[in-house]
């Protein structure tokens, strides 16, 4: 099993942060979930003096054998192409991350082709998973290796001073794997969990649902055996992201969930260790059908509802400027005391 430390939120620091919010000259809780996130980050870091920089995105890249079932509109070669562009700084997530003042790292967890760029962080386990429609996508040992890689990478980034980490992924076929995981863990049917991913046709959608159905029949996942579920139906990048969420708890670093694939990884981490949920931030509500079910299970409320489904960590990075804006109010001087007026107090129905 992977090795990590179990931590819990510092409730005293979170309470101090909420009290600081209440001193700001504005209606109570009027910045809503953004206030909650800043207080949560205070609890994660153990101090009400919240700092959100430097920050980074870890984009975990891997390939999936299930593409042999015709579940995607592009081939596996695209994974390495995009990973290379991320490492070179020219991909979609890099462009958005510059606005958010975040560094971006591409991590090869097991692509069919090597990206061939020196900036890629190499944690390669195998050249892609096996076809889950025929049997387990990986061995339990490989699943645990990928989990540990994610934990350790968050530890390494924390040691480098990063105070906020976004998760991202790149892997042709990985919405098929995440849908299968949601069926296994949430009791969803393939018709409920499977979406169009990167824009499948009606025929492609039917093939994708069929592949998930065959994967569930071939692997017969037991929700109580999380490593087995992950090995049977997951991907190297999904396992590594699950490890990253466990690493956020272990190293007291807030880790941001991106879209449905990242959210499926967060669900696995929370099932493995419920305390890890307190160290997760939900960025956006993906348009993939399983996303809302996962967020309900995690009891998390994304703040961005923009019908996004790009991946790469773009939704997670998009949260960062919103947190910056909230932090400018949180740390500002526009207080009730400064204005010389009485503070607002909770009244009936107020949060």
The CA dihedral of 47, 49, 50, 52, to the nearest 10 degrees, is: -120
**Is 312 a catalytic site residue?**
yes
Beta strands in the chain (DSSP E): 55-62, 103-110, 121-122, 164-170, 255-257, 280-282
The DSSP string of 266-294 is HHHHHHH-GGGGGGEEE-B--SSTTHHHH
Name the nearest CA neighbour of 197 among 217, 177, 221: 177
Distance between CA atoms of 27 and 319, rounded to whole angstroms?
Answer: 23
Could you tell me which residues come within 8 angstroms of residue 257 by beta carbon, excluding any fewer than 6 positions away?
167, 245, 263, 266, 280, 281, 282, 283, 300, 302, 316
Helix ranges (DSSP H) in 160-235: 174-186, 190-193, 202-219, 226-233
Q: Which of 69, 144, 237, 312 is catalytic?
A: 312
Q: Are 271 and 185 contacting, i.e. CB atoms less than 8 angstroms apart?
A: yes
* Token pair for 348: 């009936």
Catalytic residue numbers? 312
């Amino acid at each position: 099993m992977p090795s990590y430390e179990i931590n819990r939120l510092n409730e005293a620091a979170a309470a101090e942060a909420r009290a600081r919010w209440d001193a700001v000259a504005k209606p109570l809780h009027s910045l809503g979930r953004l206030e909650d996130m800043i207080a949560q980050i205070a609890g994660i870091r153990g101090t009400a003096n919240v700092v959100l920089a430097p920050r980074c995105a870890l984009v975990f890249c891997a390939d999936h054998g299930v593409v042999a079932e015709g579940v995607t509109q592009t081939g596996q070669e695209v994974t390495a192409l995009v990973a290379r562009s991320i490492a070179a700084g020219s991909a979609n997530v890099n462009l958005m991350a510059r606005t958010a003042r975040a560094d971006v790292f591409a991590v090869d967890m097991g692509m069919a082709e090597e990206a061939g760029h020196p900036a890629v962080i190499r944690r390669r386990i195998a050249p892609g998973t096996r076809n889950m429609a025929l049997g387990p996508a990986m061995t339990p040992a490989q699943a645990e290796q990928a989990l540990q890689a994610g934990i350790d990478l968050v530890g390494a980034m924390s040691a480098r001073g990063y105070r906020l980490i976004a998760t991202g992924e790149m892997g042709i076929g990985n919405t098929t794997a995440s849908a299968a995981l949601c069926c296994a863990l949430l009791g969803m049917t393939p018709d409920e969990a499977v979406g169009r991913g990167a824009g499948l046709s009606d025929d492609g959608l039917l093939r994708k649902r069929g592949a998930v159905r065959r994967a569930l029949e071939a692997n017969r996942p037991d929700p109580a055996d999380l490593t087995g579920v992950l090995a049977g139906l997951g991907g190297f990048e999904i396992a590594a992201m699950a490890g990253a969420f466990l690493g956020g708890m272990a190293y007291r670093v807030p880790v941001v969930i991106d879209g449905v694939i990242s959210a499926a990884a967060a669900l696995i981490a929370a099932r493995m260790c419920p305390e890890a949920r307190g160290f997760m931030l939900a960025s956006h509500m993906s348009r993939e059908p399983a996303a809302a079910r996962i967020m309900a299970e995690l009891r998390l409320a994304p703040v961005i509802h923009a019908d996004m489904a790009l991946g790469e960590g773009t939704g997670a990075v998009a949260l960062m400027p919103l947190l910056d804006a909230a932090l400018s109010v949180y740390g500002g001087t526009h207080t009730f005391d400064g204005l010389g007026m009485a503070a607002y107090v909770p009244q009936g129905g107020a949060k």
